[in-house]
Amino acid sequence: MKNIVAALLAASMALTANAALATEYTKGMIKKVDMKAKKVTIIHEELKNLDMPAMTMVFYPGEEAMLSRMTEGQEIEFRADRVNGKLTVVELK
């Protein structure tokens, strides 16, 4: 019984740690907004939750309306994650 409780506690702690990483915002600058292709290029700091170093890369918006709030050269804070296999901006601060 103690092993089951310990395993559940460890699983709970792991989920809590992942949730904390997912809520972290990353600073970036919008390099390009492609309204036609519905994607945005962002120069960003390290994405800890995705285990990616700072770089420039293309993201898809979590909601299409996000693109209308983005402009080239704009400094942003955002959360990114993989959604259906695509790197996606899931939230803008």
- Is 35 part of a structural domain of the chain? yes
Q: Total domain count for the chain?
A: 1
Q: What pLDDT sits at residue 24?
A: 87
pTM of the full structure: 0.75
- Is 88 part of a structural domain of the chain? yes
- Is 53 part of a structural domain of the chain? yes
- Is 11 part of a structural domain of the chain? no
Tell me the CA distances in angstroms from 1 to 8, 24, 50, one per residue in order.
11, 36, 35
Domain that residue 75 falls in: 25-92
d(CA 88, CA 30) in angstroms, rounded, equals: 14
pLDDT tens for the chain, 93 residues long, are 656 645 544 555 555 444 444 568 999 999 999 999 999 999 999 999 999 999 999 999 999 999 999 999 999 999 999 999 999 999 999
- Is 17 part of a structural domain of the chain? no
- Is 31 part of a structural domain of the chain? yes
Q: What is the CATH number of the domain that holds 69?
A: 2.40.50.320
